[in-house]
């Protein structure tokens, strides 16, 4: 079994707590489903937001998921590079898995598909 990093990103239309929470859940649930993860196998999750999203902590919504009570979650601000994608939530999930690096499915949704078009495959 190896520890693998799994990336995810999603954008929201506005700096709205409900939009941030629901988009975060959409992205995390998709990432977990596509990679067949059990929360008990997740080592930790780093969540970043762009500096234009400050209405809520994305980790707060993840903590409401069943089985995620003990998963270490950390929120941070994304590096504010001029001209970068706005209103974006990103995650880096570190998980124990039998999957090879090539089998990992990274999840880029909505406007975040522009970040990694090579990995943002249609379902």
β-sheet with 73-77: strand ranges across: 73-77, 42-49, 88-97, 2-11, 107-108
Residue 87 annotated in active site: no
Strands 88-97 and 42-49 come out as: antiparallel
Domain that holds residue 39: 2-115
Residue 90 annotated in active site: yes
Which of the residues 43, 69, 75, 86 is marked catalytic? 75
Query: Could you report the per-residue pLDDT of 60-81, keeping only the tens digit for each?
Result: 999 999 999 999 999 999 999 9
Does 123 fall in a domain? no
Does 11 fall in a domain? yes
* pLDDT at residue 120, as a whole number: 76
Residue 66 annotated in active site: no
Does 120 fall in a domain? no
Q: Note whether 87 and 114 are within 8 A (CB).
A: no
Residue 55 annotated in active site: no
Confidence category of residue 98, pLDDT binned at 50, 70, 90: very high
Which of the residues 36, 43, 63, 86 is marked catalytic? 63
Residue 105 annotated in active site: no
Confidence category of residue 123, pLDDT binned at 50, 70, 90: very low
Does 121 fall in a domain? no
Confidence category of residue 121, pLDDT binned at 50, 70, 90: low
4 is in an annotated binding site: no
pTM, rounded to two decimals? 0.94
Environment class of 6 (CB within 10 Å of its CB; exposed 0-12, middle 13-18, buried 19+)? buried
Query: Could you report the per-residue pLDDT of 37-53, keeping only the tens digit for each?
Result: 999 999 999 999 999 99
CATH number at residue 66: 3.30.1330.40
Structural domain total, the chain: 1
Confidence category of residue 35, pLDDT binned at 50, 70, 90: very high
Does 31 fall in a domain? yes
Confidence category of residue 108, pLDDT binned at 50, 70, 90: very high
Residue 4 annotated in active site: no
pLDDT of 87 strictly over 60 = yes
7 is in an annotated binding site: yes
CA separation for the pair 109, 115 (Å, rounded): 10
């Amino acid at each position: 079994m190896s520890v693998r990093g799994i990336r995810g990103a999603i954008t929201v239309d506005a700096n709205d707590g409900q939009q941030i929470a629901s988009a975060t859940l959409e992205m995390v649930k998709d990432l977990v489903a596509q990679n067949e993860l059990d929360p008990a196998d997740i080592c930790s999750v780093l969540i970043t937001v762009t500096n234009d999203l400050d209405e809520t902590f994305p980790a707060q919504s993840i903590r409401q998921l069943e089985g995620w009570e003990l998963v270490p979650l950390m929120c941070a601000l994304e590096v504010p590079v001029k001209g970068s994608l706005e209103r974006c939530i990103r995650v880096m999930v570190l998980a124990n898995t039998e999957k090879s690096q090539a089998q990992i499915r990274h999840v880029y949704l909505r406007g975040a598909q522009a970040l990694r078009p090579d990995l943002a495959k249609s379902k």
